[in-house]
Each structure stands twice: as C-alpha cells, then as structure tokens.
C-alpha cells in the first residue's frame, strides 16, 4: 500500500511539473527587418493567411560617431494605409542598438539616449501630417542588442530608463550565451526575453557548418533543462543568405538562394561555391571568376530538430510568442504556409 502511495505521489509530481513547463498557448509572430521600406500588400497577405497577429517591426537602429554622438539610422516608418490591410495585427516597435556605443556613453548620455528612443517611437506611431491620428497602438517595446560582460551594466541601465520613460512593457533579445551563463552576463531588467535560436557561429570560424542554424551547436547551449529568471519567447530563422568572399575576405551578403547560386557557380565543398565566369547580379553586384560564395539556407527538417531540442530543454510559462525571422517574399519561396504553420503549432503539442 505504501509503495502504491509513493508511486502515485511521484507520478502526480511528474505530471504537474510537465503541465507547468508545457506551452499552453502560442502567439505566432514575425519579425519585419527590412530597412528603409514599408509593409507591402504581399506581407499583409502572408500574415492574414497564417493567422499571425503580432509583428516585431524594426523602427530604427542606433549607432555612434564622434560628430553626431548617438544617432538613429535605417529607419522604418509605417503608414496608416499599410496597416489598414493588417487588421488586428499588434505592432511591437523594435530597436537595434549596436553594442559598441556603450564605450562612448556615460549615464548622462544614456539618459538622453533613452529619452530620444522613446520620443522617436512615439513619433513613429503617429501620422506624419496629423499627430493626433494614431497609426498603431502598442503596449510593448523590444530592444535588440548583443551585449557583453563589459557592457552589461550600461546596457541594463539604458533598459531601465527606457522602461521608466515609456511606461510600456519592455522585452529584449537574448542570445544563447547570456541565456546559458546568466551569472556572467547578468539578467536584463525587462518583462520578457526573446531567445534567439539562430546565428550561432561566425560564418568563417567553422566554415563547414551552417552559421544560421547548426543543431549540434544549439545543443551545446541547451544541454540541460534550465529555468531562466525571465519569461521566455523564442525566435527561429526562416531566412537564407549567400556570403560573398574575395581573396578569403568577406565582401557582402547576397540575397540569393542556393539554387540561384548553383546557376552560375560550382560547388567545391558543402555550402561553398566558386564563381566560374565573371557575372553581374541584378545589375548591381559584380562577381569575378574565382570568387567564393558560402550559401546557407534552412529546411523545415532542421527547424523541427531545433524545436525538439528547445522544447526538451527550455522551461516556458503558460503563454509564449514564437517569432520567425523574417517577413519577406523570399521566406515564402522557401517555405509553404503549411510548413510555417507547423512551426508554430509544434510548440503547443
């Protein structure tokens, strides 16, 4: 009898823990990261067909130089016409901050930066001609920054200021290294964190691996079940890129699929291609014979493997946003609507 009671207790404890860690509700989302560009009809159609009601929109990036100090660039301003076609889509203004700015900023300058960030977001959510007209409402701001151990104190100070000035919920991106080592990297003072499960390795550090998403690299960071000190959301990659190298030096990113690269370059080893003849891409980029291209893309099978690892090792609260990077036409040349939907649904099964 005592054995039965003990087994029943252990079983109930296991089930209660399982229920606690399971994602009960998934909020599907996308990132929109295109610079100097508005949302088009195609993007709104994709969101509608996928029943996605949350969009993280990069409003601007922040950098620093000696002349301007902290300055915004790569700005995106939505307009009311675009959003009319995106009924019930919640916009989350997202700001990318280059980590290098913190070496030039003391607390006084960070106070001013926080004020400018909040002011510009507020300006962008209103009509350019009639500031009484609200283009979109928002209750959350997200900050994207790859902070380091040496910059965390200043970065966390800036986050506190942004939250206090805005009066909004504040989230931030969280790379896998600070996720695994919070004792070294600290825990940001925000309401939620978006765990970024891609871009795990530098393209040339391990040239034979896919730098967008490598499952073995992912497992190195998610090697044990961990409860992070903040509620977590997850970002996954659905993009592709091709990296152009000349004389073993990186030159630029090319918006080309592997199939497109194969039309003018010869595969010399996995992921790597060599340009066979002088070629011009879109009348803009000139490639010389002998140039090297590393072409990387993601397949649905890789994402399914990644999701399995994440679900096994990451502890979620009752509701989680799963956001895909990023919303553009090329994404839907790589993945069908059914495949995209399966990524979201996998987290609630």
What is the model's pLDDT at position 10? Answer: 41
For residues 113 and 120, what is the distance between their CA atoms, to the nearest angstrom? 10
| Rounded mean pLDDT, 74-85 | 80
If 0-12 CB within 10 Å is exposed, 13-18 middle and 19+ buried, where does residue 61 land?
A: middle
Counting the structural domains of the chain, the total is 2
CATH number at residue 154: 3.20.20.80
Q: Does residue 4 form part of some domain?
A: no
* Whether residues 139 and 272 fall in one domain: no
Residues 16 and 55 in one domain: yes
Mean pLDDT of 81-97: 87
Position 3 in a domain = no
Q: Is residue 5 part of a domain?
A: no
- Whether 281 has a pLDDT exceeding 70, the answer reads yes
Nearest to 238 by CA among 40, 46, 38, 39: 46
Between residues 25 and 202, which one has the greater pLDDT?
25
3-state secondary structure of 333: helix
- 3-class secondary-structure state, position 325: strand
Residue 104 within any structural domain of the chain: yes
Tell me which of 35-44, 161-170, 322-331 is least confident.
Answer: 35-44
Convert the pLDDT of each residue in 302-323 to its tens digit.
999 999 999 999 999 889 999 9
The terminus-to-terminus CA distance of the chain in angstroms comes to: 35
Mean pLDDT confidence for 103-116: 98
Q: What is the DSSP string of 162-207?
A: HHHHH-SEEEEEE-HHHHH-HHHH---SSSEEEEE-S--S-TTTTT
The b/e string for 196-226 (b: 16+ C-beta within 10 A; e otherwise) is bbbebeebeeebebbbbbbeebbeebbeeee
pLDDT at 22: 59
- State the Cα–Cα distance between residues 330 and 334, nearest whole angstrom: 7
163 and 101 in a common domain: yes
22: phi then psi, degrees, rounded to nearest 5: -75, 140
Would you say the C-alpha torsion 217, 218, 222, 227 has a positive or negative sign? positive
Report residue 24's pLDDT band, with 50, 70 and 90 as the boundaries.
Answer: low
**Residue 218 pLDDT:** 97
Question: CA–CA separation, 296 vs 210, rounded Å?
Answer: 6
User: Is residue 85 pLDDT above 80, yes or no?
Assistant: no
Closest to 271 in 3D by CA, of 280, 283, 281, 262: 262
- Residues 259, 312, single domain; the answer is no
Our measurement of the distance from residue 18's CA atom to the centroid of its chain's CA atoms, rounded to an integer in Å, reads: 28
User: Tens digits of per-residue pLDDT, 111-167?
Assistant: 999 999 999 999 998 877 677 788 899 999 999 999 999 999 999 999 999 999 999
What does 53-85 look like in DSSP terms, one character per residue? Answer: -EEEEEEEEEEEETTTEEEEES-----HHHHHT
Q: What pLDDT is attached to residue 102?
A: 98
Q: Is the pLDDT of residue 13 over 80?
A: no
Torsion angle defined by CA atoms of residues 210, 312, 49 and 92, in that order, rounded to the nearest 10 degrees:
-80
Last residue of a domain, one of 296, 315, 338: 296
Say if residue 159 is in the same domain as residue 266: no
Distance of alpha carbon 271 from its chain centroid, rounded?
23
Confidence of residue 8 (pLDDT cuts 50, 70, 90): very low
> What is Dmax (Cα atoms) for the chain?
81
Question: 86 and 235 share a domain?
Answer: yes
Same domain, 145 and 246: no
Lowest mean pLDDT among 10-14, 78-82, 179-183, 297-301: 10-14
Average pLDDT for 207-212: 90
How is the beta sheet containing 292-296 ordered, strand by strand?
Answer: 249-254, 241-246, 292-296, 272-275, 265-269
Task: Tell me the mean pLDDT in the region 7-26.
Answer: 52
Q: What is the mean pLDDT of the chain?
A: 90
Q: Cα(308)–Cα(224) distance, rounded to whole angstroms? A: 13
Domain containing residue 251: 241-296
Q: What pLDDT is recorded for position 258?
A: 94
The answer as to whether 37 is a domain residue is: yes
The pLDDT, as a whole number, for residue 233 is: 98
Digit-coded pLDDT (tens) for 221-261: 999 998 999 999 999 999 999 999 998 888 999 989 999 99
**pLDDT value, residue 18:** 47
Is the pLDDT score of 2 beyond 70?
Answer: no
Q: What is the reported pTM?
A: 0.91
Co-location of 171 and 29 in the same domain: yes
Residues 232 and 330 both lie in one domain: yes
12 pLDDT band (50/70/90 cuts)? Answer: very low
């Amino acid at each position: 009898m005592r054995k039965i009671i003990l087994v029943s207790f252990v079983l109930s404890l296991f089930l209660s823990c399982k229920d606690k860690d399971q994602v009960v509700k998934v909020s599907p989302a996308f990132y929109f990261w295109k610079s100097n560009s508005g949302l088009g009809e195609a993007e709104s159609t994709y969101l509608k067909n996928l029943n996605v009601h949350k969009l993280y929109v990069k409003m601007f990036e922040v950098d620093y130089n000696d002349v301007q100090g902290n300055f915004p660039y790569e700005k995106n301003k939505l307009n009311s016409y675009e959003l009319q076609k995106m009924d019930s889509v919640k916009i989350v203004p997202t700001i990318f901050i280059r980590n290098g700015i913190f070496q030039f900023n003391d607390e006084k300058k960070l106070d001013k930066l926080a004020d400018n960030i909040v002011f510009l977001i507020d300006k962008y959510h209103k009509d350019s001609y009639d500031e009484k007209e609200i283009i979109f409402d928002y209750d959350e701001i997200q900050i994207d920054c790859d902070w380091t151990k040496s910059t965390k104190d200043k970065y966390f100070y800036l986050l506190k200021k942004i939250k206090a000035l805005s009066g909004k919920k504040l989230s931030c991106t969280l790379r896998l290294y600070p996720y695994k080592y919070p004792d070294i990297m600290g825990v940001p003072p925000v309401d939620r964190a978006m765990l970024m499960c891609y871009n795990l390795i530098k393209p040339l550090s391990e040239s034979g691996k896919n730098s967008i998403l490598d499952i073995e690299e992912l497992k190195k960071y998610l090697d044990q079940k961990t409860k992070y000190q903040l509620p977590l959301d997850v970002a996954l990659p659905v993009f592709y890129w091709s990296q152009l190298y000349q004389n073993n030096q990186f030159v630029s990113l090319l918006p080309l699929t592997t199939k497109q690269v194969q039309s003018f370059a010869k595969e010399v080893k996995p992921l790597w291609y060599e340009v066979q003849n002088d070629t011009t891409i879109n009348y803009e980029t000139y490639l010389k014979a002998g140039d090297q291209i590393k072409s990387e893309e993601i397949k649905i099978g890789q994402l399914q493997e990644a999701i399995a690892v994440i679900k096994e090792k990451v502890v979620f609260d009752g509701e989680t946003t799963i956001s895909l990077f990023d919303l553009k036409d090329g994404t839907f040349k790589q993945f069908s609507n059914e495949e995209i939907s399966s990524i979201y649904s996998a987290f609630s099964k």
